[in-house]
Amino acid sequence: MLEAALGLASQIGLEGLSIGALAEVTQMSKSGVFAHFGSREELQISVVREYHARFEEEVFFPAVREARGLPRLRSMFERWVKRVSVEIDSGCIYISGAVEFDDRPGPVRDALASMVRTWHRALERAIRMAIEEDHLKPDTDPMQMLFEIHGLILALHHDARFMRNPGAIERAGRGFERILAESLNLPAPAASARKGR
């Protein structure tokens, strides 16, 4: 039932998700669906939690098995891009949900925001680890880098899903490399090399 609810939310959005709509898709009675979730709001929150669990399985957990620092950060971004690329036809619940609930306080918005914050904290930790491992410059601003990386994902989603522009995935990758290039902690030239100039 949750699988069907997730698929339905991907197509019509969290706001469109209801007990009746899910009952129709699953060919169950409304009372049966209601007994399982208790309310439309709880149905929506259950979908948000399930989406987050799958996001972690596909993006976060494999990435944290990479070496600390830049390898882990790269893996997180690359897997995030891959996740967005397979959601081009269905849409990302994090992004579509943010549009639907950005100005609507309540438990569904709180659940969405909590999941996004959890992912952002994981990315921020990866950036800070890259600084600690001397892969990025000590003066790198983790929050600024996080903001720019998230911006790439939003642009990718917009260009690939809404505008149907080809090459959006490649442009996101180049953008990521440009962001990193500004902060890479490159080794200083050797003394002998400097003298030979």
User: Which pLDDT value is given to residue 188?
Assistant: 59
User: Which pLDDT value is given to residue 115?
Assistant: 94
SS3 sequence of the chain: CHHHHHHHHHHHHHHHCCHHHHHHHHCCCHHHHHHHHCCHHHHHHHHHHHHHHHHHHHHHHHHCCCCCCHHHHHHHHHHHHHHHHHCCCCCCHHHHHHHHHCCCCCHHHHHHHHHHHHHHHHHHHHHHHHHHCCCECCCCCHHHHHHHHHHHHHHHHHHHHHCCCCCHHHHHHHHHHHHHHCCECCCCCCHHHHHCC
Q: What is the chain's pLDDT, residue by residue, as a tens digit (197 residues)?
A: 899 999 898 888 898 899 999 999 999 999 999 999 999 999 999 999 999 999 999 999 999 999 999 999 999 999 999 999 888 777 788 888 888 888 889 999 999 999 999 999 999 999 999 999 999 999 999 999 999 999 999 999 999 888 988 999 999 999 999 999 999 988 755 544 444 44
Instruction: Look up the pTM and report it.
Output: 0.87
